[in-house]
């Protein structure tokens, strides 16, 4: 536990000490310090640290960077072009993004947000990192993790050792702890704001399916994304990622990705990985509401009511059943699906994790083995070519591993998912990433092999059925 927690209660005493150095009182004029020319010195203990955040900033600021990206995107003239009408010729547009980051290894390894560099990994843009001393370097992407909204960058320092910010994934943050948000809001340059931890383990804020966010009232604005949330030791306890605001500016409701997730992503990148392998529970459920709690005889609404258990998953083998209520995983309370995914996902593959559940009127503990999501059916990903409606589309067999990587529902059933639309007929046909291909000319499509066989058949007219956001759409497309 850090020692800086209860500063605020010491403030009145500190003010009194600063104003009077003689315990007998101000009657002796010589005992009153010259307030016009105060002596500046680094605080030496927790109480004196309250007088200024300057020592913390001096330690942390050299490791804070600006991240600028520039990418080329293809857009339709009408962004609301209807699926049934086909599309017009797309046009290219250059888009820029300005964010922040933190140096986490002295040879130039940097952590930032995925959304700061989104689209760059396809090779249609570039990334520039500006250090605190204003030097600029081109950066490459070591690992991009859209699910956690994190990316690891690397710059070539030519052997120079850079200032580093430690990732403190052991800090036991509490609501009310002092924190600093550092970054480059609105592109004005490196800036520091202070506040407190407003809440912990926010999983129901709609940002991603994997996350348990730190909420803070430290001012976070556009451009702060990817910058560090810093504790009073100058260590990184989170990466600022988004805000909730009606105006688009800080309203005191900002969110940061916890250091445990940051370290997981950085370690994966430094280990040579191009993606993060996270354990998967294999459960679909819903938060226990007050009404559900009453129906189950629970005294208060808590936990996740299990609706489905994926056959053969770690949860299935641990003995979890439909109708069970997951109360906690490894001692961490779970109140929605996102919380469960986070609680198991931050463990290492192979860990044995206790899970407390309620079954009927009794609480009991199961032991779940942390395992990666299965990649079955086999991952068959390819770009479809030829004169057919899917020309230029990248498709893949749906498996729990693919679903986890892409943030889609692994319980959607077997099928083929469109992951990317490139140059080709598919771009003008109205197909989109995230569409499931269900039928072609009345033939069910259960695999990429099925789709490839269907589109290589002779023909120029195609009845295509896709599933988009839970709704089936059928259209006749002519090539």
Given 225, 250, 314, 399, which residue is catalytic?
225
Q: Which residues of 261-285 are buried (b: 16+ CB within 10 A; e: fewer)?
A: bbbbbbebbeeeeeebbbbbbbbbb
Q: Is 318 in contact with 355 (CB distance < 8 Å)?
A: yes
Three-state SS sequence of 221-245:
CCCCCCCEEECCCCCEEEEEEEECC
Sign of the C-alpha dihedral computed for residues 191, 197, 198 and 204 taken in this order: positive
Distance (Å) of CA 78 to CA 29, 48, 89, 425: 77, 60, 10, 17
451: left (phi over 0), alpha (psi -120 to 50) or beta: alpha
Sequence-distant contacts of 246-251: CB under 8 A, at least 24 apart: 248/222, 249/221, 249/222, 250/219, 250/220, 250/221
82 is catalytic: no
Question: Structure tokens of 217?
Answer: 């009232």
Cα separation, 333 vs 228, in Å, equals 26
Given 97, 100, 145, 149, which residue is catalytic?
149
Given 97, 115, 168, 177, which residue is catalytic?
115
149 is catalytic: yes
233 is catalytic: no
Catalytic residue list: 115, 149, 225
């Amino acid at each position: 536990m850090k020692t800086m927690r209860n500063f605020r209660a010491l403030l009145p005493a500190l003010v009194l000490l600063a104003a009077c150095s003689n315990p007998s009182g101000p009657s002796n004029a010589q005992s009153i310090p010259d307030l016009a020319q105060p002596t500046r010195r680094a605080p030496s203990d927790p109480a004196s640290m309250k007088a200024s955040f300057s020592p913390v900033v001096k330690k942390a600021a050299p490791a804070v960077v600006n991240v600028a990206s520039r990418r080329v995107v293809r857009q339709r003239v009408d962004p609301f072009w209807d699926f049934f009408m086909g599309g017009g010729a797309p046009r290219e547009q250059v888009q820029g993004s300005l964010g922040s980051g933190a140096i986490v290894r002295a040879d130039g390894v940097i952590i930032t947000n995925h959304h700061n560099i989104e689209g760059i990994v396809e090779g249609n843009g570039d990334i520039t990192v500006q250090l605190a001393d204003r030097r600029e370097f081109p950066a490459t992407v070591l690992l991009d993790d859209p699910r956690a909204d994190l990316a690891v960058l690397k710059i070539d320092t030519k052997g120079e050792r850079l200032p580093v910010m430690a990732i403190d994934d052991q800090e036991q943050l509490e609501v009310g702890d002092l924190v600093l948000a550092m970054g480059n809001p609105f592109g004005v340059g490196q800036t520091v704001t202070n506040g407190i931890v407003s809440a912990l383990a926010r999983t129901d804020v709609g940002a991603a399916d994997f996350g348990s966010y730190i909420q803070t009232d430290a001012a976070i604005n556009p451009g702060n994304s990817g910058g560090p949330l810093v504790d009073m030791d100058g260590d990184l306890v989170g990466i600022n990622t988004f805000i909730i605001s009606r105006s688009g500016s800080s309203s005191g409701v900002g969110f940061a990705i916890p250091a445990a997730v940051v370290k997981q992503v950085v370690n994966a990148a430094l280990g040579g990985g191009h993606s993060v392998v996270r354990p998967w529970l294999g459960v679909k459920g819903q938060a226990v509401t007050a009404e559900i709690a009453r129906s189950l005889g629970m005294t208060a609404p808590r936990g996740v009511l299990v609706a489905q258990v994926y056959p053969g998953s770690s949860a299935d083998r641990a003995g979890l059943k439909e109708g069970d209520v997951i109360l906690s995983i490894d001692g961490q309370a779970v109140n929605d699906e996102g919380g469960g995914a986070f609680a198991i996902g931050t463990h290492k593959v192979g860990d044995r994790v206790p899970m407390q559940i309620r079954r009927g009127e009794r609480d009991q503990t199961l032991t779940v083995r942390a395992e990666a999501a299965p990649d079955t059916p086999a991952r068959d990903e390819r770009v479809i070519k030829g004169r057919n409606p899917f020309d230029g589309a990248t498709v893949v067999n749906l498996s729990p591993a693919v679903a986890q990587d892409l943030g889609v529902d692994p319980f959607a059933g077997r099928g083929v998912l469109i992951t990317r639309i490139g140059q080709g007929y598919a771009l003008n046909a109205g197909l989109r990433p995230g569409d499931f291909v269900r039928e072609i000319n009345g033939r069910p499509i259960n695999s990429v092999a099925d789709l490839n066989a269907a589109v290589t058949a002779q023909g120029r007219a195609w009845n295509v059925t896709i599933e988009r956001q839970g709704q089936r759409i059928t259209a006749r497309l002519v090539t």
